[in-house]
Structure 1
């Protein structure tokens, strides 16, 4: 007898939650952060431009910033298009900076001829450089002695 009561209470709670969500939406209580309706497309103007001139690094061991667009680059478990130019086998021919030797070390420090799996996803550390406005107040100061 306890199971039917529990199942009924669960069904009632689910129904009330769905009705409440429906009422909240129909009451116009939901809106995006830009003030538009949730289902409305909001055009967003481009607030930054990709910079091609290399930025200085702001602290010791900062990963270099990417001075070109990577919008269409495939970087997944099967492929990494960054290596087409930056792998040590191609960098000289392409005029691109080669990867640091640390990218060819496995977890145990063994040197390999291919990029280590721990360094495969470049955009974990490297990001496209842009002269973009701050989204929040920033008090960062560059380290001295670059």
Structure 2
């Protein structure tokens, strides 16, 4: 058997070993009852209620400062219950170019109307449509780990 076939055989033996281990552990876990999930802060998470007690949305605040260049703006209000799907985006009720002035909200950036290659589009790019990929709401919670981060010099 040549060296390449030997590596291939060892790789498959490893994969099969991992699969058997997962099955054995899974069977043992199933016998113990349902798995309990917890957040990093130790709050139980229910599969039926993914938001649960572990999520606390902060109160509305003035626009929040940015900590580094090109940081997506933070969301200074609750988004609890906001629907963002292929068919509808609740954020656009206030942040679209047509409604931002009336809603007294920040309008979305022109960059949200461009493709990866920089071509302009007439509507929001699919890459920018799901706001929570980049923009996050703030909560009043203690950090999970220590942090000594300082904002970039250009933003002081």
The TM-score, its normalising length taken from structure 1, stands at 0.68
Cα distance in structure 2, aligned partners of 1:80 and 1:64 = 18
- 1:50 equivalent in alignment to 2:81: no
CA shift in 2, pair 1:112/1:135, >3 Å? same
Q: Is the 8 A contact 1:48 1:133 kept in 2?
A: no
Cα distance in structure 2, aligned partners of 1:35 and 1:69 = 21
Aligned residue for 1:71? 80
- 1:119 equivalent in alignment to 2:128: yes
CA shift in 2, pair 1:46/1:80, >3 Å? closer
**Taking CA–CA contacts closer than 8 Å with sequence separation of 6 or more, which of the two structures ends up with the larger relative contact order?**
1
Q: Which aligned pairs between 1:79-98 and structure 2 lie closer than 5 A?
A: 79-98=88-107
Deviations, residues 69-111 of structure 1 (Å, cap 9, x unaligned): 1111111112111011111111122211111100011223121
Cα distance in structure 2, aligned partners of 1:115 and 1:92 = 18
How far the C-alpha of 1:112 sits from its partner, in A, is 1.8
Cα distance in structure 1, aligned partners of 2:30 and 2:93 = 51
Question: Which structure has the larger Rg over C-alpha atoms?
Answer: 1
CA shift in 2, pair 1:52/1:135, >3 Å? same
Q: Which runs of 5+ in 1 are unaligned?
A: 1-12
Runs of 4+ in 1 over 3 A off after TM superposition: 16-23, 30-36, 43-51
The TM-score, its normalising length taken from structure 2, stands at 0.64
Q: Is the 8 A contact 1:55 1:129 kept in 2?
A: no
